[in-house]
Structure 1
């Protein structure tokens, strides 16, 4: 599958690098050839191709958005997605590790508003990038769960297939407004790790009893 990445920092690179290893073609989308993050990503993996953002969208089957949330509006509004899946990996983290939209609406719903012809799926936000580099927990006979949310069934099915490649079990939490609660899970993880010193090598799992 051809996958475009808008943003190739810690989160974007971890996802792109692992997906390339599993046979996907990665297009790094950028409009600045001198971008430091893009240069660093290409030094670490010269198998990525690069092109302008709109061209990358046009030539891909799905697009990952992994830029700082508060840079997304200006970036997204001029772009045309023509109904393609847009995988929202952003987090609206505000001052003091708070919800940057005051929990009134999810960041993913704002992403859908700004990219109104895309089919947005929230994913890859409830853990830090460390668990996207390596999702394996060999001491347990269970996969970590990746919680997703979105309004479009086909786009969520595509993300579920990518999750399988990345070593995650998928749990579809429902429509895109559920992203607000996923973003609060992000804040829980970030406060534990980045603020309070818990090690980052942990994830959530989904355990279901037989009926």
Structure 2
């Protein structure tokens, strides 16, 4: 599968690395292929390729958006045509002052993203945790896998993303349509408050138990 990353910092870089090592063709969408962010990602995995942003998106089957949420309105509109029909994995989270929801809980960040790229097939995924769990999702000694919740309005797009999750060692859990992204964004804020503020272990994940 051809996978492009827009954003490859603490979240994007480990996901790009792991997906490439699983056999996918992974490309970094770059305004500057010699940027420090590109160099750091390629130092982690030299097989990651950098391409101009529009070309990288056009050539992709799946595009991961792992930038700070605040830059979405600048980054996405120029790429909207290239994103048409693409699976767009939204890893971003709108965060406001005091670890509040950046859109005042009136709308999910993923819904705002869908408005910026109306023909993209947006799936909210790879959130609800910090970057530590994208570096290493293994939890040996348990009889259940860590859960990765996701949502979106396009069923085939969600199936594609769920397959990537499973390959990366997660138990995918479909929680519904894109409106559910608001609740996943609140789960991210909950995790951040518990870990970054209260001092719980960053290697803390949710699990779904059924009987």
Partner Cα separation in structure 1 for residue 207 and residue 53 of structure 2: 35
Which residue of the partner structure matches residue 202 of structure 1? Answer: 204
1:156-167 matches, cutoff 5 A: 156-167=158-169
- In the TM superposition, residue 133 of structure 1 has moved relative to its aligned partner by 1.1
Q: Counterpart of 1:35? A: 35
1: CA distance, partners of 2:130 / 2:143: 22
TM-score (norm 1): 0.97
Structure 2 CA distance, aligned partners of 1:84 and 1:35?
A: 26
* Superposed displacement of residue 194, structure 1: 1.2
After superposition, residues 68-147 of structure 1 pair within 5 angstroms as 68-79=68-79, 80=81, 81-147=83-149
Deviation at 1:35, TM superposition (A): 2.5
1:35-72, CA deviations, whole angstroms, 9 ceiling, x for partnerless residues? 22122111221110110111011111100000000101
- What's the Cα RMSD here? 0.9
Gaps of 5+ in 1: none
TM-score by length of 2: 0.97
CA distance in 1, matches of 2:175, 2:134: 20
Q: Distance in 1 between matches of 2:114 and 2:201?
A: 33
Residue 53 of structure 2: aligned partner: 53
Distance (whole Å) between structure 1 residues aligned to residue 54 and residue 119 of structure 2: 13
Q: Number of residues paired by the alignment? A: 209
2:173 maps to 171
Task: Name structure 2 gaps, 5 residues minimum.
Answer: none
Alignment correspondent of 1:67: 67
